[in-house]
Amino acid sequence: MSEHCDFSVKFWGVRGSISISDPNSIRYGGNTSCLEIRCGERLLIFDAGSGLRYLGNELVGRGEAVDADIFLTHTHYDHICGIPFFKPFFNPQNQFRLQAGHLLPEKNLRGVLCDLMTSPLFPVPLEVFQSKIEFHDFIVGDALHTGSDVVVRTASLNHPDGATGYRIEFGGRSICYLTDTEHVAGELDQTILRLIDGADMVIYDSMFTEEEYANCVGWGHSTWQAGADLCDAAGVPRFVIFHHDPDHDDDFMDGIAEAAEKRRPGTLVAQEGMVLRPGKPVWQDLDIPVSQARTVPAG
């Protein structure tokens, strides 16, 4: 695939609930949810957790004007806390479209973000941003078009206050992003199955192990085992474990990676800095800093 048709996802934040700074969690990372998806020259950002700050710093370092769509799964704090610290918002040459589908009809996205950046919670208001920012509230289930060659499909997720799952389609390939959702034990979520059917890659909320989940029913999160079952049923070749519990250090995550590899060969555990490209053979699409990579078997 030529460079202008490249389709990739880069992980800037992989942690759930709260960011952590822990020397025992460096390899997998401690920032909360943020993905950079490149569809050729088009930039799509999914979630705006603390990882958004680091993505913003890289974009500023490139010295180019930024035109991007930012899609939020929902507006719980760990998924929007990077917004006030996203440096590209302060450049008047940049333009962004912020989108969410879980708030209607009670609230709207702009109003929620205004509340976030209001004293005494935050010292400066949303109007401090100088770039052109549009706010869009869509109805979950709608298909969103970001140009003629990218389609973003949506579905409702099972999470307190609501959340949206996404399927990004570009160049005949697809990446699904499903975080902050809870399964029902012993059942397959039919809404999710319809969204991910035949997708090339699924990034799924795997905050708990099955053993932990027994004590966390109703918290709005799932397990890597439930994610593997969904990917099996939907014929998905690449399953990516995501939204790691802040109490799971690198050794614990290594254990999950090993167990998941036995359960479903080729499964990956998301790490900050990891870049994946759908549709390539196992391991050949993996790009991650050597300092962060754990030893993995060749596919």
Among residues 25, 27, 70, 24, which one has the least CA distance to residue 49?
70
% the chain with pLDDT above 90 = 84
User: Mean pLDDT over residues 4-33, rounded?
Assistant: 94
Look at residue 73 and tell me whether its pLDDT is greater than 70.
Answer: yes
Q: Is the peptide bond before 105 cis (omega within 30 degrees of 0)?
A: yes
User: Mean pLDDT over residues 100-118, rounded?
Assistant: 93
Rounded CA-CA distance 96/257 in Å is: 36
Rounded CA-CA distance 297/266 in Å is: 9
Whether the pTM exceeds 0.85: the reply is yes
Q: Which residue has the tokens 């957790």?
A: 49
Q: 168: burial class by Cβ within 10 Å (0-12, 13-18, 19+)?
A: buried
- What the chain holds in terms of domains, given with CATH numbers, is 3-140+150-276 (3.60.15.10)
Among residues 132, 116, 111, which one has the least CA distance to residue 81?
116
What confidence tens digit (pLDDT) does each residue in 144-158 have?
988 779 999 999 999
pLDDT at 1: 37
Look at residue 296 and tell me whether its pLDDT is greater than 80.
Answer: no
